[in-house]
């Protein structure tokens, strides 16, 4: 019952966000949508995803959308009627085809059983962290590469733009008071990822949220530019270094030796936490 | 009951596809892409839950976690590109 209400609210807020004429209002409805989907992830017993969704998908994406809607001018070109027609027909056909999937889907044992079977070999106790950093390490390595590349692209695109900020005393006081606590807590969540809910991306997105407040209040990190860039690129370097070091010793690319696996995963996770926070801070700020 | 999650994800996917094609504004398109991504993630998580065992499948969870972070960084890059584009249009 609760799930149905959350799902309906999700659908309504998505519709309101897409249909609204006012860009500010549609951004606010997008925040509601992100929060509702976070609640739905918790109902679907995926608390790891809920943390990342509420911080990144709801908060940081909306900051980016507000930044865009302030900078971009409305182009008043109405879409032609035929475009609306074929878009409507196409999405209807898409919906009908997707609905056919419901007739074939059934409960079955998937690859998850294998993960729980081999969990003791991974070096961590949380299954999601084990998949992210041990069993499917390639994905995470490439993901770190993708966010690093996105930050490099942003740095290349916005060299002299005015920084998007709110100049609000409340935001400034808040970030001054809470940033140390947020940074400490994000490291704690990263550490917690080895045992239960948490992990590198959860901690990193929390750190990014704290740094986003700092950037929006018009302040700057009290670090010079080159060390910031170095710390932001650190996780890719650490990850690649670990992968190649074990490959050279003879274990294989991204295959950790059993007795060192917990330590290696911990070090990689802490570096990913720091770098994700700083990379998303660069992404919001548009420069170092 | 579990079909409802799939149905919700299909509704979100097709609705945001429609708005992605017809939206006149960049911001709306970006929101539509993000909602489309959320629909796909919901499909994955619903699949992870659709097992007879007690625990949900952790592999789709890890994939969705990766996907959300990549979606946010792609959105950030898109915002930068669009700001750049609209600035160039103003200069012309």
Q: What is the DSSP string of chain B?
A: -HHHHHHHHHHHHHHHHHHHHH--SHHHHHHHHHHHHHHHHHHHHHHHH-SSSSSPPHHHHHHHHHHHHHHHHHHHHHHHHHHHHHHHHHH-
- A74 has a pLDDT exceeding 70: no
Please state, rounded to an integer, the average pLDDT across all residues of chain A. Answer: 86
- A76 has a pLDDT exceeding 60: no
Q: pTM surpassing 0.80?
A: yes
- A261 has a pLDDT exceeding 70: yes
Handedness of CA B30, B31, B34, B36 (dihedral sign): negative
For a pLDDT cut of 70, what percent of chain A falls above it? 96
Cβ pair B70:A147 closer than 8 A: yes
| Shortest distance, CA B38 to any CA of chain A (angstroms) | 8
- A167 has a pLDDT exceeding 70: yes
Cβ pair B38:A49 closer than 8 A: no
Please, which pLDDT band fits residue A79 given cuts at 50, 70 and 90? Answer: low
Helix (H) or strand (E) holding A249: helix A225-249
| Residue from A113, A116, A130, A150 nearest A199 by CA | A130
For a pLDDT cut of 90, what percent of chain A falls above it? 31
Q: How far apart are CA A164 and CA A154, in angstroms?
A: 14
Q: Which residues of A touch B91 (CB under 8 A)?
A: none
Neighbour-count burial of A174, counting CB atoms closer than 10 A to its CB (0-12 exposed, 13-18 middle, 19+ buried): middle
Place of tokens 């429609």: B18
Higher-pLDDT residue of A11, A105: A11
ipTM of the complex: 0.93
Phi/psi region, residue A123 (left: phi>0; alpha: psi -120 to 50; beta: rest), is left
pLDDT at residue A93, as a whole number: 92
Instruction: Report the interhelical angle of A61-71 vs B26-49 (nearest 10°).
Output: 170
Tokens found for residue A74? 């409305």
Residue among A9, A62, A72, A236 with most chain B CBs within 10 A, to mutate: A72
Tell me, rounded to whole angstroms, the distance of Cα A39 from its chain centroid.
Answer: 16
pLDDT at residue A195, as a whole number: 84
| pLDDT, tens digit (0-9, with 9 covering 90-100), for A89-141 | 999 999 999 888 888 877 777 787 888 888 888 888 888 888 888 888 888 99
Q: How far apart are CA A285 and CA A201, in angstroms?
A: 20
Measure the N-to-C terminal CA separation of chain A; round to a whole number of Å. 47
- A149 has a pLDDT exceeding 90: yes
Of A7, A128, A150, nearest to B58 by CB-CB distance is: A128
Mean pLDDT on A240-257: 85
8 A C-beta contact, residue B69 and residue A48:
no
- A271 has a pLDDT exceeding 90: yes
Residue B11 — φ and ψ, nearest 5°? -60, -45
Cβ pair B79:A88 closer than 8 A: no
8 A C-beta contact, residue A45 and residue A70:
no
């Amino acid at each position: 019952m609760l799930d149905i209400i959350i799902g309906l609210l999700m659908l309504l807020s998505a519709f309101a966000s897409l249909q609204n004429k006012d860009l500010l209002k549609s951004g606010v409805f997008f925040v509601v949508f992100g929060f509702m989907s976070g609640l739905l992830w918790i109902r679907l017993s995926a608390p790891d995803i809920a943390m990342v969704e509420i911080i990144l998908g709801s908060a940081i994406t909306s900051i980016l959308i507000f930044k865009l809607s302030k900078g971009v001018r409305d182009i008043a070109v109405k879409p032609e009627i035929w475009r609306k027609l074929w878009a409507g027909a196409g999405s209807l056909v898409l919906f009908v085809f997707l609905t056919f999937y419901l007739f074939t889907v059934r409960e079955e044992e998937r690859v998850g059983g294998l993960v729980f079977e081999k969990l003791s070999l991974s070096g961590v106790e949380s299954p999601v962290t084990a998949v992210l950093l041990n069993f499917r390490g390639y994905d995470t390595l490439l993901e770190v590469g993708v966010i690093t590349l996105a930050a490099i692209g942003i740095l290349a695109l916005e060299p002299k733009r005015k920084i998007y900020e709110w100049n609000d005393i409340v935001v400034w006081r808040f970030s001054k008071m809470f940033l140390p606590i947020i940074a400490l807590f994000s490291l704690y969540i990263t550490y917690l990822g080895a045992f239960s809910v948490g992990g590198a991306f959860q901690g990193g997105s929390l750190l990014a949220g704290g740094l986003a407040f700092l950037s929006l209040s018009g302040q700057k990190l009290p670090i010079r530019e080159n060390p910031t860039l170095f710390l932001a690129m650190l996780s890719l370097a650490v990850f690649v270094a670990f992968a190649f070091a074990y490959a050279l010793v003879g274990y294989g690319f991204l295959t950790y030796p059993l007795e060192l696996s917990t330590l290696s995963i911990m070090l990689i996770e802490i570096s990913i936490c720091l770098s994700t926070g700083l990379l998303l801070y660069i992404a919001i700020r548009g420069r170092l | 009951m579990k079909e409802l999650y799939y149905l919700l994800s299909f509704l979100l996917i097709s609705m945001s596809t429609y708005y992605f094609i017809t939206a006149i504004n960049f911001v709306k398109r970006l929101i539509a892409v993000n909602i489309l991504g959320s629909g796909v993630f919901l499909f994955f998580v619903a699949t992870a839950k659709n097992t007879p065992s007690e625990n949900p499948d952790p592999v789709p969870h890890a994939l969705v976690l990766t996907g959300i972070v990549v979606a946010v960084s792609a959105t950030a890059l898109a915002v930068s590109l669009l700001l750049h584009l609209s600035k160039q249009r103003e200069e012309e």
